[in-house]
Amino acid sequence: MALRDALQGITCPMVTPFDDGSIDEAALDDLLEHLHEGGVDAVFPCGTTGEFPALTADEQRRVVEATVDCADVPVVAGAAETSVDDTIAAIDRAAAAGADAAAIVAPYFTTANAPDGNRRFFEAILDGASIPVILYNIPQCTGQRIEPETVAAVAEREDAIGIKDSSGDLEYFLSVLRETPEEFLCLQGYDALLVPALRMGADGGINALSNVVPEVLREAFERAEDDRGRELQRDAISPLFEACTTHDFAPAAKTGLTARDVIPSDEVRPPLVAVDDAGTKAIGDALEDALVVSEQ
C-alpha cells in the first residue's frame, strides 16, 4: 500500500518491548503480527509511545530495521530531535533502515522565541531530509504547539506530507484543516477525538490504543460516519483512553498488551515506571469492556 493511502487509515505508534533492559525483537515481531491481524494501515516505531527518548540512536535504528523487516505496511519512524542537524541525521538513519517517512517535532527545552523560528527550523530540516516528513504536534511534551500558520507555511512543500496532532485541542485541529491544502494529511493523534475528528474531515488517526485494540480503532475508522462509529468512540475507545491517560501511554499500552498476551512483559525504561496494581485493574476492566462493545 502506498504511504499516503496508508496514512488515510489507522497508524499504530508502536510500543518498544523490553526484556531485562534490552529490546525484545521476538516480542516486537509478535506485536507486529497482532497489529496486522487487527487491520492497521501503517506503523510508527520510535515515537512517544515507543519511548524514543530512552533509546540510543543505535537502538532506534535497530527498532526501525526490525519493524521494516517484519511489517507488511508502510513505516513512519520517529525522528524527534532538538537541532536541525541531529534531526536530519535521525531521518537519514530511519531512511537507511528502510522507513518510508519520518515524524519530527517542534524543538523542545529551547523553544522558538518568535513564531518564525519554528518555520525556519522545519524548512531547514526539510531541505536536508531524505524521505517525506510528517509534523508531530504534541505541546504537552515539547512545551509549545506548532502554530496553524506555521503548519500552513510548511504544508506548501511537497516533502511535508502531513501532521499528527496529539494536542487534544479539536479547535486547533480544525484550524489546521482549514489552513492547509487538501493533499496535506491531517491525522488525529488524540484517541478520545478520533471519531469526532474524522467526522470533521480528518484523514486518519495515529493512535496509541491501536497497540492494544487495533480491531476497535479499525472499525471506528471505517464506521466513523454512522452510529456504530459513535458507539465505539463513546463506549469503547474513550473509556479505555481515560483509564490509560494517568499512567503515560507507553506503560499503559504495555499493560493492555500483556493482558491480551501479545507481549510477555510490561517493562519500561526510566523515568517511566510500570502501571501499579490499581491502574492495571482499571485498564484491564476498561479493556474488557471495550472488547465486549467491539463484539456486539
- Grid coordinates representing 236? 469503547
Q: Which burial class, exposed, middle or buried, applies to 101 when counting CB atoms under 10 A from its CB (0-12, 13-18, 19+)? A: buried
Active site residue 136: yes
Cα separation, 262 vs 15, whole angstroms: 12
Contact by Cβ (8 Å): 219, 228? yes
Alpha-carbon distance values, 218 to 68, 147, 166, 260 (Å): 21, 29, 18, 17
Residue with cell 524543538: 107
Residue 265 burial by Cβ neighbours in a 10 Å radius (0-12, 13-18, 19+): middle
Of 259, 141, 243, which is closest to residue 192 (Cα–Cα)? 243
- Under 8 Å between Cβ of 4 and 204: no
Alpha carbon distance 86, 79 (integer Å): 9
- Confirm whether 190 is a catalytic residue: no
Map grid coordinates 507488511 to a residue.
72
What does residue 166 show for φ and ψ, rounded to 5 degrees?
Answer: -110, 20
Residues in the chain: 296
User: Using an 8 Å Cβ cutoff, are 25 and 201 in contact?
Assistant: no
Question: Per the residue annotation, which of 136, 172, 190, 254 is the catalytic one?
Answer: 136
CA distance 209 to 221: 13
Closest CA to 134 of 172, 169, 180: 180
Catalytic residue among 108, 164, 172, 190: 164
Residues carrying an active site annotation: 136, 164
